[in-house]
């Protein structure tokens, strides 16, 4: 059953990991004095909020008996369909509201000031940015419901959501690892990565929304109309 649960979280976990603005925030922190510690503090904040939400989704879905009651199982698939449609809608909204100059966007300017914050506030900002991420939370609700529907039980489902949360944060710790592994080259590497992510943020998010949305829609349509 564990491999079934793992199969449910791998693709969405990879999609959750590709959050350009969260990665840019980690790069800003990694480029600051004591960068790795700040990166790991920020990443821990994101992980904590995602893990808590994932656990709440699993416990709620289990209490609703989505794995055992047919009508409620169907409701779980309907939820996945709705989330998939919402993600596809977000692709359109992202394209429609794309900035003319990514470097001058208000979100980028706010992220550039993160490195001046003390560690407790960096941790809190990690939690806040993880919570308001418009992609990860709806995705986590759908994934948590799907994991419970496998019938693997609460303990394995909780482990699955912890794996999902860890995957979502894996790209956030990378800047800290780069600074520790290659301190002399880290400024150039992180600077280039920051420019690429900011310049291509809109395109990355549109592709991600469409991929994750259509994946959820296709996985929901079969059980609903079988």
pLDDT band at 158 (very low <50, low <70, confident <90, very high): very high
Q: Which of 67, 63, 102 is nearest to 203 (CA)?
A: 102
3-state helix, strand, coil split of the chain in percent (to 5) is: 85, 0, 15
Instruction: Work out the average pLDDT over 157-161.
Output: 93
Q: Residues 172-194: what's their mean pLDDT?
A: 91
Q: Give mean pLDDT, residues 145-171.
A: 91
* Highest mean predicted confidence (pLDDT) among 49-53, 83-87, 110-114: 49-53
Report whether pLDDT(88) > 90.
yes
Q: pLDDT-based confidence at 72, cuts 50/70/90?
A: low
Per DSSP (E only), the strands in 66-220 are none
Confidence band, pLDDT 50/70/90 cuts, at residue 226:
low
The pTM for the full model equals: 0.86
Amino acid 104: pLDDT: 52
pLDDT value at residue 80:
84
- Determine which of 14-18, 150-154, 156-160 has the lowest per-residue pLDDT on average: 150-154
Q: Where residue 89 falls among pLDDT bands split at 50, 70, 90?
A: very high
Instruction: For the chain, give the percent of residues with pLDDT over 70.
Output: 92
pLDDT, residue 67, reads 61
Tell me the per-residue pLDDT of 11-50, one tens digit each, with 9 for 90 and over. 889 989 988 889 999 999 988 888 899 999 999 999 999 9
d(CA 186, CA 181) in angstroms, rounded, equals 8
**40/48 Cα distance (integer angstroms):** 12
The predicted structure's pLDDT at residue 62 = 85
DSSP assignment of 185-204, as one string?
Answer: THHHHHHHHHHHHHHTHHHH
pLDDT at 103 exceeding the cut of 80: no
């Amino acid at each position: 059953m564990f491999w079934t649960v793992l199969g449910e979280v791998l693709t969405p976990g990879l999609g959750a990991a590709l959050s350009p603005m969260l990665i840019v925030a980690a790069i800003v922190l990694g480029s600051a004095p004591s960068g790795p510690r700040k990166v790991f503090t920020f990443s821990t904040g994101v992980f904590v909020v995602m893990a808590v939400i994932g656990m709440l989704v699993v416990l709620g879905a289990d209490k609703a008996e989505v794995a055992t009651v047919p009508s409620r199982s169907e409701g779980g698939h309907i939820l996945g369909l709705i989330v998939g449609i919402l993600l596809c809608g977000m692709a359109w909204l992202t394209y429609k509201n794309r900035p003319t100059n990514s470097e001058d966007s208000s979100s980028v300017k706010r992220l550039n000031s993160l490195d001046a914050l003390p560690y407790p506030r960096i941790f809190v900002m990690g939690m806040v940015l993880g919570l308001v991420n418009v992609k990860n939370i709806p995705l986590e609700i759908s994934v948590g419901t799907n994991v419970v529907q496998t019938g693997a039980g609460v303990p394995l489902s909780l482990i699955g959501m912890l794996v999902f949360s860890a995957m979502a944060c894996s790209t956030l710790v990378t800047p800290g690892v780069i600074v520790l592994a290659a301190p002399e080259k880290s400024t150039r590497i992180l600077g280039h990565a920051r420019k690429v992510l900011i310049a291509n943020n809109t395109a990355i998010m549109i592709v991600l929304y469409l991929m994750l949305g259509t994946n959820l829609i296709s996985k929901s349509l079969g059980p609903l109309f079988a």
